[in-house]
């Protein structure tokens, strides 16, 4: 897949490091991931709960968890236990929340409890997010591979 001509120089995959390190950025990353985890607990979805935070200029500018659109019933799964097609992923909710505000996500950092699917990876790239920090890795690596190719720095922290 050769979609972009963006140089890959600012693409970094950091190894997972424990959160006992004192480096300031790392401590903040861990703290935001812990918050994202608490946000995930707000989700009404039963199969999987995911939380997202968007931080820009040291401020949280948006948040989200996976769930149905506003105005819809809260249940994410149908009677067969399958996720309804219109459930929004946590990062999609956080990005669209910024779209409703006067702010934007350009040059921001996205904190996620689970790395993005390929659909959300497109939104992350297009929203101008420049950095992604996440805890767990989604089963399909297409989304994270896409972000690498588009020059977004990604960091996995397994135990924030």
Per CB under 5 A, the segment of 48-56, 75-83, 115-123, 134-142 that binds Zn ion is 115-123
Q: Is 117 in the site for Zn ion (CB under 5 A)?
A: yes
CA distance 34 to 142: 25
**Residue 119 CB, nearest approach to Zn ion (Å):** 5
Q: Between 53 and 120, whose beta carbon lies closer to Zn ion?
A: 120
- Of residues 16-45, those binding Zn ion (CB under 5 A): none
Residues 50-109 that bind Zn ion (CB under 5 A): 89
Q: Any catalytic annotation for residue 41?
A: no
Cβ closest to Zn ion, residue 26 vs residue 131: 131
Question: Should residue 120 be labelled a site residue for Zn ion when binding is judged by CB under 5 A?
Answer: yes
| Nearest CB to Zn ion, comparing residues 19 and 117 | 117
**Binding to Zn ion by residue 125, rule CB under 5 A?**
no
Catalytic annotation, residues: 91
Q: List interacting residues with Zn ion (CB under 5 A).
A: 89, 117, 120
């Amino acid at each position: 897949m050769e979609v972009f001509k963006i140089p890959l120089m600012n693409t970094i995959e950091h190894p997972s490091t424990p959160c006992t390190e004192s480096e300031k950025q790392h401590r903040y990353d861990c703290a935001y991931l812990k918050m994202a985890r608490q946000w995930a607990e707000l989700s009404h979805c039963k199969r999987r709960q995911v939380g997202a935070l968007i931080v820009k200029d040291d401020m949280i500018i948006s948040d989200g968890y996976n769930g149905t659109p506003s105005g819809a019933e809260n249940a994410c799964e149908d009677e067969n236990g399958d996720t309804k097609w219109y459930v929004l992923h946590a990062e999609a909710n956080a990005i669209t929340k910024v779209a409703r505000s006067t702010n934007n996500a350009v040059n921001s950092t996205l904190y996620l409890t689970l790395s993005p699917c390929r659909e959300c990876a497109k939104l992350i790239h297009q929203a101008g997010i420049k950095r992604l920090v996440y805890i767990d890795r989604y089963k399909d690596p297409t989304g994270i591979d896409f972000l690498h190719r588009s020059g977004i720095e990604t960091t996995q922290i397994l135990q924030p």
